A and B are shown apart, each in its own frame.
Chain A
Amino acid sequence: ILNVEQSPQSLHVQEGDSTNFTCSFPSSNFYALHWYRWETAKSPEALFVMTLNGDEKKKGRISATLNTKEGYSYLYIKGSQPEDSATYLCASSDVDSNYQLIWGAGTKLIIKP
């Protein structure tokens, strides 16, 4: 099972600025890409589940894109707010591994007021 890579590992962003980070995953036999937000002292919470190449999903100020052919997804946050501070996890699955989710190590986002 190949790795899911997330970059950067951590990110400090000024309140009000927009930001984005990357998730790279194995593209062969791809099935689904998941994004989760994990706030300190809480449980991970699903943001998006994406399966189609070129798909773009949006939830409020957060959006994500998916490129299954080259094996990457971007997560964008527009106008960062302090409540966006969290670790953002992505995970991908493929058909060959019986849809097992492989998790990245996460991008820790800190919003500076």
Chain B
Amino acid sequence: KAGVTQTPRYLIKTRGQQVTLSCSPISGHRSVSWYQQTPGQGLQFLFEYFSETQRNKGNFPGRFSGRQFSNSRSEMNVSTLELGDSALYLCASSLAGVGENTEAFFGQGTRLTVV
């Protein structure tokens, strides 16, 4: 079956701009969670969506937002980009909630560079 698809794979943006990243989960998966990974850091949790509702949110500023559509595809938006937003953004999908007893499947990530 098709895996988790993230688009685009690479992105270069200028400070102050906004960006939208997309994540298509595995068919049938209702949970999509988003993570940021910067050099030397582990996975930092952004938020999780389950059946179109935000289920959990990490400690990121309000510039980071997301949504999930009825087909479970999810988008993440970052407004007013800062240099520190440069990172690998990963999404993961799971059948049940990401913290429950089912494994999460990760996409290849979107590498965002802010210049």
Contacts and interface: CB of A to CB of B under 8 A. Distances in A.
Interface stretch (A12-20, A63-71, A72-80, A95-103): A95-103
A103 B99 contact: no
Interface stretch (B17-25, B62-70, B72-80, B106-114): B106-114
Given A97-B56, A98-B55, A100-B45, A44 B99 contact: no
Interface residues of A, number: 23
Contacts, number: 62
Interface in A23-63: 31-32, 34, 36, 43-46, 49, 51
Interface of B: 4, 33, 41-45, 48, 55-56, 90, 92, 97-109
Interface of A: 31-32, 34, 36, 43-46, 49, 51, 89, 91, 93, 97-106
